[in-house]
Amino acid sequence: MDSLSEIIRNSQIWKSIIRHPMPVDRRNRIVVMLTNFFLHLHPVSAKKQGIALSYTWCMGGITFFLFLVETVTGVLLMFYYRPTVEWAYSDIVALRDVVSLGVLRELHRWGAHAMVITVWLHMYRVFLTGSYKPPREFNWVLGVILLLLTLLLSFTGYLLPWDQLAIWAITVGSNMARATPFLGNEGPGAALLTVGGVDMITNASDARFLTLGARFVGEETLNRFYVLHCVAIPLGAALLLAIHFWRIRKDGGISGPL
């Protein structure tokens, strides 16, 4: 068997795909980090205490992993789900009762909850170790925006099952937008924004309308949240994640005592 695996690893096909030898000695453990696409996010070497699990808690890494889990399960769910008032609910029921591997939605929902928690724990660790201090200030800022995007991803996804839980949670959440100062039709200062006696901010033009695409949570909201949830926010998050990781390297690697 040894020789067979050797034959495979020495074949032209294998070598064309995996460009590094097995990482069994010091040299090749360095080479693997430099030549493997998935590993090249990492540095070749790092401070021992900086990567200790009791120091980092691995919460940032787990958050990213959960982002990937959400992406994969989300794409699979999209095969079955139609974001219309007519079909949304029955598609979710079918996902539960008919589709094989009926844990897809469970993985997606619990993964989303878990991701909110791991983001918080990651920020908690970064704060408690003072890792936002110079030179890492801006990466903390990116992290706060990623926290917001995580919450928005979870919030927009909450509506999609189109059950009682969904529309009323979103109704409660989006009712707040009605009270945005100046931009919500029940917000302080909105009455001041008039042109020639005509109100500029009404329930058909305010911040809540922008969020929902309608005066109340309905068909337009479902479509809007679906696009935000599946396309717009994930793209934004992916871009910021890339910068977040890149900045870890550029700002001096995993934090540690100066």
Among residue numbers 225 through 254, which ones bind other proteins (CB under 8 A)? none
Mark the segment that binds other proteins (CB under 8 A) among 11-19, 76-84, 134-142, 237-245: 134-142
- Is there binding between residue 215 and other proteins (CB under 8 A)? no
Long-range contacts, stretch 107-111, CB < 8 angstroms, 24+ apart: 107/69, 107/73, 108/70, 108/73, 108/74, 108/77, 108/157, 111/66, 111/69, 111/70, 111/73
CA-to-CA distance for 84 and 89, rounded, in angstroms? 9
Contact call for residue 180 and other proteins (CB under 8 A): yes
Kindly indicate which of the ranges 6-14, 76-84, 127-135, 234-242 contains the residues binding other proteins, using the contact rule CB under 8 A: 127-135
Q: Which of residues 13-32 bind other proteins (CB under 8 A)?
A: 23, 26, 29-30, 32
Q: Extract the tokens encoding 214.
A: 């309608």
Q: Is 46 in the site for other proteins (CB under 8 A)?
A: yes
Instruction: Return the closest-CA partner of residue 248 out of 14, 55, 85, 41.
Output: 41
Least distance between other proteins and beta carbon 7 (Å): 25
Choice from 75, 137, 231, 242 touching other proteins (CB under 8 A): 137
Look at strands 198-199 and 194-195 and give their pairing: antiparallel
d(CA 42, CA 206): 46
What tokens appear for 201 in the block? 């901010």
Q: How many residues bind other proteins (CB under 8 A)?
A: 100
Q: Is position 57 an interface residue for other proteins (rule: CB under 8 A)?
A: yes
**In terms of CB distance, is 14 or 124 closer to other proteins?**
124
Q: Does 89 bind other proteins (CB under 8 A)?
A: yes
